[in-house]
């Protein structure tokens, strides 16, 4: 029997797992997908928000500001890319100036540090590429940018190093109450746990309904983005927001921690919790809307687009509480933006709820907060590179030409705890396929490395989710490949 079962390995589940791994408790992290961070955590704006936006007194406001303050230490311990670059909310007329004044005052109540309202000249001095029609801006220097999936993966890896068990492809389908605790049915068998933390993102309402009457709904709200090549990554230096109006929040322009630029998102309520496709209308809207901030959006440098789904709660605020009538079952639901920012603070609060529910949390002396640094070959000195290649010649072989990623780095991230199992898993951890060619060159080589390291046939390599095979048949006469297709076909027929 586990002490705690966490359902969902997005940034919230992974933050809770890592926080729990400080204590002497037996924890399992159950994830329905083939990888961690494969839900909303992989597709968002990647901003560590300042915290002036959320309504004072809300859980969003509290955990945004508390979470933001935790990022420097957390990202240093876990070797996660994070830059506190600050944000600007642009105002274009008198009405907008009033709105940013309101945001400023809300920020003061929420405890956001060092905000200031800038005039036109100050804004353009900081960001010369912005529209000359700008009137002023709210500057929040505490805002930043982070690698969102890197954060979740790093927290999971550190949690596993400290004793947490991760079970992938384990979708929770049913939960029964026991005299003490819960029996959790997954499509890979049953587990029992005294306490359950529901971090199931878009599906948190369905998981809640497995133990209690429905009390909230999660509404999927899609947001689409364009990603720009690194050649224009310094087009702006800060996160550039537009002023929220009655018509919407506007779109943002921001550099990413990997040196790209992103523009987005729109907001579209949907019925389906899996609709991750981008649309002509959505992308057209964000491009048009982006031009309000700068007439010169460098559209020639767009390399790809993506969409993410917000888990919008019907209640309007994060739902983080023990479920009435289900002792020890804690919902962490409706974690839409600023959920990424809030994640580390939410995890600490969840532990308080667990203690209130009777959990005995004894700190363990063996907890180790530091994650081994990822090897980033191109960031090494020439001497360090030569030494590494001497030790392992795979560091001398470039696999991704756009991002200059070596075979050695890819092997390392496959072999780590919570390592990559799919092509997209490799991409999220080491970045091959994120450059201008979008994997056109390195994709097949990454597949070969995955097949070799995981000891599977190349035809079994997945792009991402279960069933997402890439190879459907031989592309040229190659006896070895033909034989392997023959073997797979024969196995399927049996
Ligand atoms: C367009 C957009 C922009 C955003 N921008 C920002 C931003 O800039 N800054 C910010 O702070 N926040 C932002 N957010 C919000 C942030 O991305 C989310 O709050 C955060 O990723 C939520 O993490 P999560 O772990 O709750 O959900 P997820 O990442 O969705 O994780 C939930 C996990 O549960 C698993 N799961 C579901 N059902 C089951 C089941 N039955 N059994 C087992 N596993 C299950 C899923 O597979 C998934 O892996 C944005 C969100 C969107 C969509």
Do 66 and 182 sit in the same domain of this protein? yes
Output the domain CATH number for residue 343.
3.50.50.60
Do 122 and 182 sit in the same domain of this protein? no
Can you tell me the distance from the alpha carbon of 468 to that of 164, in angstroms, rounded to the nearest whole number? 28
Task: Return the best residue to mutate from 15, 169, 200 for the ligand 1 pocket (most ligand atoms within 8 A of CB).
Answer: 200
**Which of 311, 328, 360 delimits the end of a domain?**
311
Cα(335) to centroid(ligand 1), Å: 7
**Which of 311, 327, 360 delimits the end of a domain?**
311
**Which of 339, 356, 373 delimits the end of a domain?**
373
Do 272 and 389 sit in the same domain of this protein? no
Do 14 and 58 sit in the same domain of this protein? yes
The answer to whether 159 and 77 have CB atoms below 8 angstroms apart is no
Do 255 and 172 sit in the same domain of this protein? no
Domains held by the chain: number: 3
Task: Return the best residue to mutate from 6, 7, 8 for the ligand 1 pocket (most ligand atoms within 8 A of CB).
Answer: 8
Task: Return the best residue to mutate from 337, 349, 428 for the ligand 1 pocket (most ligand atoms within 8 A of CB).
Answer: 337
Which residues line ligand 1 at a C-beta cut-off of 6 Å?
7-13, 30-33, 38-41, 44-47, 49, 171-172, 199-203, 207, 223, 265, 308-310, 335-341
Residue from 221, 225, 337 nearest 285 by CA? 225
Do 199 and 318 sit in the same domain of this protein? yes
Q: What ligand 1 atom has the least distance to the C-alpha of 39?
A: 30
Do 337 and 471 sit in the same domain of this protein? no
Q: What ligand 1 atom has the least distance to the C-alpha of 339?
A: 19
**Nearest residue by C-alpha to atom 18 in ligand 1:** 339
Can you tell me the distance from the alpha carbon of 23 to that of 350, in angstroms, rounded to the nearest whole number? 14
Phi/psi class of residue 464: alpha, beta or left (left: φ > 0; alpha: ψ in -120 to 50)?
alpha
Do 100 and 199 sit in the same domain of this protein? no
Give the strand pairing for 405-406 and 82-83: unpaired
Can you tell me the distance from the alpha carbon of 31 to that of 176, in angstroms, rounded to the nearest whole number? 18
Domain of residue 346 covers 1-83+142-217+314-373
Cα(9) to centroid(ligand 1), Å: 9
Walk along the chain (494 residues) and give the pLDDT tens digit of each residue: 999 999 999 999 999 999 999 999 999 999 999 999 999 999 999 999 999 999 999 999 999 999 999 999 999 999 999 999 999 999 999 999 999 999 999 999 999 999 999 999 999 999 999 999 999 999 999 999 999 999 999 999 999 999 999 999 999 999 999 999 999 999 999 999 999 999 999 999 999 999 999 999 999 999 999 999 999 999 999 999 999 876 667 899 999 999 999 999 999 999 999 999 999 999 999 999 999 999 988 999 999 999 999 999 999 999 999 999 999 999 999 999 999 999 999 999 999 999 999 999 999 999 999 999 989 999 999 999 999 999 999 999 999 988 889 999 999 999 999 999 999 999 999 999 888 888 888 999 999 999 999 999 999 999 998 899 999 776 665 556 556 555 555 555 55
Strand residue runs (E) in 211-280:
218-228, 239-242, 252-255, 261-264, 268-269
Do 465 and 412 sit in the same domain of this protein? yes
Q: Which residues are catalytic?
A: 49
Q: What is the DSSP string of 131-184?
A: -TT--EEEEETT-EEE-HHHHHHHHHHHHHHTT-EEE-S--EEEEEE-SSSEEE
Q: What ligand 1 atom has the least distance to the C-alpha of 46?
A: 8
DSSP 324: T
Q: What ligand 1 atom has the least distance to the C-alpha of 47?
A: 8
Do 125 and 151 sit in the same domain of this protein? no
Do 39 and 111 sit in the same domain of this protein? no
Output the domain CATH number for residue 266.
3.30.9.10
Helix (H) or strand (E) holding 310: strand 302-313
Do 462 and 488 sit in the same domain of this protein? yes
Can you tell me the distance from the alpha carbon of 164 to that of 23, in angstroms, rounded to the nearest whole number? 10
The answer to whether 439 and 461 have CB atoms below 8 angstroms apart is no
């Amino acid at each position: 029997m586990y002490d705690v079962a966490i359902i969902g390995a997005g940034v919230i589940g992974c933050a809770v797992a890592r926080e729990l791994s400080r204590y002497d408790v037996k924890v399992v992290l159950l994830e329905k997908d083939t990888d961690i961070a494969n839900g909303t955590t992989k597709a968002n704006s990647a901003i560590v928000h300042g915290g002036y936006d959320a309504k004072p007194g809300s859980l969003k406001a509290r955990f945004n500001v508390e979470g933001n303050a935790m990022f420097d230490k957390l990202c240093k311990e876990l070797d996660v890319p994070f830059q506190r670059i600050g944000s600007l909310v642009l105002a274009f007329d008198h009405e907008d100036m009033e709105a940013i004044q309101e945001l400023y005052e809300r920020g003061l109540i929420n405890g956001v540090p060092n905000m200031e309202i800038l005039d036109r000249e100050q804004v353009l001095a900081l960001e010369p590429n912005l529209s000359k029609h700008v009137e002023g801006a709210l500057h929040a220097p505490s805002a930043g940018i982070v690698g969102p999936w890197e954060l979740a993966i790093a927290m999971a890896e550190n949690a596993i190093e400290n004793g947490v068990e991760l079970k992938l492809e384990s979708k929770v389908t049913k939960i029964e109450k026991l005299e003490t605790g819960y029996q959790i049915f997954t499509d890979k068998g049953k587990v029992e746990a005294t306490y359950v933390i529901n971090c199931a993102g878009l599906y948190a309402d369905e998981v809640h309904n497995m133990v209690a009457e429905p009390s909230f709904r999660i509404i999927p709200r899609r947001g689409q983005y364009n990603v720009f090549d690194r050649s224009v990554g310094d087009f702006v230096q800060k996160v550039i927001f537009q002023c929220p109006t009655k018509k919407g929040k506007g779109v943002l322009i921001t550099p990413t921690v990997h040196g790209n630029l992103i523009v987005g998102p729109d907001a579209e309520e949907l019925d389906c919790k899996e609709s991750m496709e981008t649309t002509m209308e959505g992308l057209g809207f964000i491009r048009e809307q982006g031009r309000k901030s700068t007439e010169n959006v460098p559209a020639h440098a767009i390399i790809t687009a993506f969409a993410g789904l917000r888990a919008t709660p019907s209640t309007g605020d994060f739902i983080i509480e023990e479920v009435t009538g289900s002792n020890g079952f804690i919902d962490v639901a409706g974690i839409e933006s600023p959920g990424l920012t809030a994640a580390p603070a939410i995890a600490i609060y969840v532990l308080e709820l667990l203690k209130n529910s009777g959990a005995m949390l004894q700190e363990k002396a063996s907890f180790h907060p530091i994650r081994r640094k990822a090897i980033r070959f191109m960031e090494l000195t020439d001497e360090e590179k030569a030494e590494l290649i001497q030790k392992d010649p795979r560091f001398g072989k470039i696999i991704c030409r756009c991002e200059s990623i070596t075979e050695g780095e890819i092997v390392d991230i496959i072999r780590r705890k919570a390592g990559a199992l799919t092509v997209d898993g490799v991409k999220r951890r080491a970045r091959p396929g994120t450059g201008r060619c979008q994997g056109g060159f390195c994709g097949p080589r990454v597949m070969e490395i995955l097949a070799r390291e995981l000891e599977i046939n190349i035809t079994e390599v997945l792009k991402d989710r279960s069933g997402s095979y890439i190879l459907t048949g031989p592309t040229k006469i190659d006896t070895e490949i033909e034989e392997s297709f023959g073997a797979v076909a024969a196995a399927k027929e049996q």
